[in-house]
Amino acid sequence: MSGPFSFRVLERDPATAARRGRITTAHGSIETPAFMPVGTAGTVKGMTPEELESLDFEMLLANTYHLALRPGEEVVRRLGGLHRFMGWGRALLTDSGGFQVLSLAALRTVTDDGVTFRSHLDGSLLSMTPERSMQIQSSLGADIVMAFDDCPALPSPRPRIVEAVRRTSLWARRSRAALAGSGQALFGIVQGGDDPELRETSAREITDIGFDGYAIGGVSVGESAERSRAVVARTAPLLPQERPRYLMGMGTPADLVEMVALGCDLFDCVLPTRNARNGTLFTPEGRLSIKRKEFADDPRPIDPGCACPVCGRFSRAYLRHLYLAGEILSMRLNTLHNLHHYAALMRRARAAIDAGRYADFLSAFRSRWTDARPSPGDLVDGPIAEGAEALRGGRARRTFAGERSE
């Protein structure tokens, strides 16, 4: 359905592990490092495909679990596949649903066969296996599909992580066998929690099977940002140089810039879109909460240095008004600004690598960026009440279910 896939490293930064690359697919190429906006239900919330194109995004992520539940992958297939269904002519990547069935669905049971769970929409009893995930992803027809993995939250007891590593390799082999002949690129996922030895085991087993690209999974699943980054620092070098490396579901601006320096090529996160709907906007200095009283009369744009259409036309005062009035346009404009911010950040990161100056870019970013830890409100929206409750309980830790789909 999708056809030719390739990846080429174009430049390597002399002082960091950052690299510039290009992924080629039947739906166009993706300059890496790249951020993929999350289009959970076949739409990046509030945005049209035209807008995402105008922001220069070259690949979106869509969620297999959500689309299989609604509208159902057979509907999508009959309508010509996900690209056509959602009116997006550029590249698509679908996740495997593994993360969602473990985090969103209720009453799940995990065995070596697969996961049985209840739909978060209507409570019906369903199951997901590597074969079923590949069948769904093949019907959706994304350019890149992900192997079905077992992704436990952190912290988890070591035996649970050992089991997840073993099962992820087992499922990776079954995923590869099941997808054969679809013409789609398949990425394997490395698990191993925050245990360096288990990460090594998983990386070795997954790369031994052999995939078109490799993802670091099992991060941003409950642990601190510092711990996530430490896991990536250990895992990225274990992955083949000549294949794209995709860091799953982790994505504050600082995460992106830091993880590019460790050699990651692809990113996704709901943060820019979800934060936008919650009134939290990104600037080079950090986050700005548009609801604050001090903005009631503020004629300035969100970020005076920003070239986005929102900053060109609307004041903080107007954006605050729209937010307080619960207007749809608030979510739209905030999302447009945040995605523009992410796109521009990645564009600058790529230019810095091209120029062989990524270390300078990184230190300039660090000197400007100050970010409070995410507040619980930043991360909650939709069916993740459990994670939200945990957050409200006190510790500033990441949600498990919150950042991969919305």
* Nearest CB to a second copy, comparing residues 274 and 350: 274
CB of 94: closest distance to a second copy in angstroms?
16
162 lies in the binding site for a second copy (CB under 8 A): no
Token pair 């789909």: residue? 405
Based on the shown chain and the rule CB under 8 A, indicate whether residue 385 belongs to the binding site for a second copy: no
Residue whose pair of structure tokens reads 């490092």 in the numeric block: 33
Which residue, 40 or 235, has its beta carbon nearer to a second copy? 40
Give the residue, chosen from 8, 204, 292, 313, that forms a contact with a second copy under the rule CB under 8 A. Answer: 313
344 contacts a second copy (rule: CB under 8 A): no
Site string for a second copy, 275-294 (x = CB under 8 A): --------------------
Minimum CB separation of residue 15 from a second copy in Å reads 42
Instruction: Among 1, 26, 230, 317, indicate the residue that binds a second copy (CB under 8 A).
Output: 317
95 is catalytic: yes
Name which position in 159, 181, 299, 304 contacts a second copy (CB under 8 A): 299
- Quick note: the x/- pattern for a second copy over 68-97, rule CB under 8 A, is --xx---x--xxx----xxx----------
Give the residue, chosen from 159, 180, 328, 393, that forms a contact with a second copy under the rule CB under 8 A. 328
Q: Which residue number, 137 or 252, has a Cβ lying nearer to a second copy? A: 137
Does position 160 bind a second copy by CB under 8 A? no
Number of residues that bind a second copy (CB under 8 A): 38
Least distance to a second copy from the beta carbon of 319, Å? 11
Among 183, 286, 309, 383, binds a second copy (CB under 8 A): 309
Phi–psi pair at 14, nearest 5 degrees: -70, -25
Taking CB under 8 A as the criterion, the residue among 115, 290, 333, 401 binding a second copy is: 333
**What's the CA gap between 65 and 99, in Å, rounded?**
9
Q: Which is nearer to a second copy, 80 or 157 (CB)?
A: 80
- Binding-site member from 18, 322, 339, 379 for a second copy (CB under 8 A): 322
- Please say which residue, 377 or 382, places its beta carbon nearer to a second copy: 382
Instruction: Kindly identify the residues of this chain, within the stretch 34-63, that bind a second copy according to CB under 8 A.
Output: 41-43, 45-50
The two structure tokens encoding residue 188: 């394997």
Convert the chain into a string of H (helix), E (strand) and C (coil).
CCCCCEEEEEEECCCCCCEEEEEEECCEEEEECEEECECCCCCCCCCCHHHHHHCCCCEEEECHHHHHHCCCHHHHHHCCCHHHHHCCCCEEEECCCHHHHHHCCEEEEECCCCEEEECCCCCCEEEECHHHHHHHHHHHCCCEEECCCCCCCCCCCHHHHHHHHHHHHHHHHHHHHHHCCCCCEEEEEECCCCCHHHHHHHHHHHHHHCCCEEEECCCCCCCCHHHHHHHHHHHHHHCCCCCCEEECCCCCHHHHHHHHCCCCCEEECCHHHHHHHCCEEEECCEEEECCCHHHCCCCCCCCCCCCCHHHHHCCHHHHHHHHHCCCHHHHHHHHHHHHHHHHHHHHHHHHHHHCCCHHHHHHHHHHHCCCCCCCHHHHCCCCCHHHHHHHHCCCCCCCCCCCCCC
Of residues 143, 265, 268, 303, which has the active-site annotation?
Answer: 268
Verify binding: residue 123, a second copy, rule CB under 8 A. Answer: no
Q: Which of 95, 149, 255, 303 is catalytic?
A: 95
CB atoms within 10 A of CB 388: 19
Q: Which residues are catalytic?
A: 95, 268
Residue numbers at the binding site for a second copy (CB under 8 A)? 41-43, 45-50, 70-71, 75, 78-80, 85-87, 296-297, 299, 309, 313-315, 317-318, 320-322, 324-325, 327-329, 331-333
